[in-house]
Structure 1
């Protein structure tokens, strides 16, 4: 392309063009851009001179686009949108040179899901401070509402209207059966489970889910013990003190002697990320949410198949 035909338009000229079109006149555009009307006129004149074409027709009713101007306007807006995206990426990168992300999670997700994700986040954003606090799900909600954490990892759904949530993983409830010389079928029936007494969580949300699941299928659920710690439940099963139904993440590591089976009718818990609604979060927090959801700069699936 010859030097004389090269276009040296700049971003400010395109901004002026868009403003004149949006506000209908040079004077109104100047007011919105906080500049003089003569500066707006010079910018449009320079742009038209560089393009060698008339983009706006002037009249007593204001400035109107020519047919060519309408086509140029479409491209101008795309260029300005691209410039905004570039500015945002630069702002995001600079913002990620500092800041912090405070995460609270229930134990099994904190143990098995979050550590590899936090490691990945630290590699991508080494200057962001990130802290993880282990709390019960209701305590995670309270910490969010009180502003003590930015992101909570909780079982879904949550009843609070103050929270915005996203599903990030699913965790199968599995049956843990004590060691026995009698072979256990790979596919259990309710009849297979009827002889067992079960060791349950004490005051845990997943206990309610298990009880409701049994009731929905008209089955009797015999309880032998109610225990606070999932590791204690697994240990008791391995000693032949009863069976258990736990989310897989809560059960692992599972001793080799314990037999693991799926329920006769599958049951899952949904694990989600939660933030307080109507709060302006920092770029660091939004970037960690992208990691949890597999969006933005983290487009690959976050959770490996071993957690499915």
Structure 2
């Protein structure tokens, strides 16, 4: 059997295969990679000739993976991910003994998500300094990243253009009701929820926009009797029986044990992820924290009413 000369399959060819598969277009792949369309065509043609198979079908509707091309793409992704991991490990080995990582995020993430990750980072690399900046909302955290005041932001996704992101967890919006609330039915219905007096963050509060869009889009309107900006104050008022509220689970914590916690009748989640500048030259210290975050939240965690927060992430390393 004739052996395939492995050195004839190049990483750049695999990167181009992945780009064409993602865009279904040679021209769009070229634009995304910053090379000419002829270079993309040549790389694909050369790889197909080397392998002796057709990877893409070309037609009026663009470039479509063939069945064998689809299988090749899976291996290409695996090779590219492994290559990135190799480069990252080398970078860490060369310079991770010291360094600083500037992290921008908002209160609930700083309180409930990052501490275990920072602990693991310090256990593995005690010379790395973490500069954690807590912002009022994730728009400010994104701005800190774009203005160069942070190396990493942990924010809600999608995060906008110019950023490379990875999903960490799904945080469910939960309904908190006073201890003495007696519902007519279980589970909670929209009809009962809309009758409850609610204490809510301001309607223009960034975190709550998805809630109002979600509920109003279903044809329901909330009975808001008070607007409070502070999560902790809102939860405290709910515990005192002054009304219910809707908050992301992480923002609501710690929830007093007497407060009743429900999912929305039609559940709603917010996606929280890590973001870096797409064109940033990351330091080994930044790579080290990114690796820990990825290991803790792979697959992404789901934070719901039943999730005990101490279980977020993986157990601490020995």
Contact 2:92–2:287 at 8 Å: present in 1 too? no
Task: Map 1:130-279 onto structure 2 (within 5 A).
Answer: 130-135=130-135, 136-158=137-159, 160-180=160-180, 182=182, 185-202=185-202, 203-279=204-280
- Deviations along 1:161-186, one digit per CA (max 9) or x if unpaired, are 12111111111111001121635644
Is the contact made by 1:292 and 1:302 (CA closer than 8 Å) also made in structure 2?
A: no
| Residues 194/118 of structure 1: CA separation in 2 closer, same or farther (3 Å cut) | same
Equivalent residues of 2:162, 2:278 under 8 A apart: yes
Give RMSD over aligned pairs: 2.7
Aligned length: 224
Deviation at 1:85, TM superposition (A): 8.7
User: Shift of residue 111 of structure 1?
Assistant: 0.5
Residue 214 of structure 1 and its aligned partner are, at CA, apart by 0.9
Change (3 A) 1:206 1:300: closer
Q: Measure, in 2, the Cα distance between the counterparts of 1:111 and 1:88.
A: 28
Maintained 8 Å contact 1:230/1:250: yes
Larger radius of gyration between Structure 1 and Structure 2 = 1
Question: 1:287 aligns to what SS in structure 2?
Answer: helix
Residue segments in structure 1 that go unaligned for 5+ positions in a row: 1-17, 23-81
Q: 1:86 to 1:116 in 2, by over 3 A?
A: closer
User: TM-score, normalised to structure 2's length?
Assistant: 0.64
TM-score (norm 1): 0.66
CA contact (8 A) 1:199 1:226 kept: yes
Unaligned runs of 5+ in 2: 1-6, 11-81, 313-318
SS of the residue 1:117 aligns to? helix
SS of structure 2 residue aligned to 1:273? strand
* Contact 2:168/2:297 (8 A) holds in 1: no
- In structure 2, the residue matched to 1:47 is none
- CA contact 2:170–2:271 (8 Å) conserved in 1: yes
Would you say the 8 A contact 2:88–2:287 is kept in 1?
Answer: no
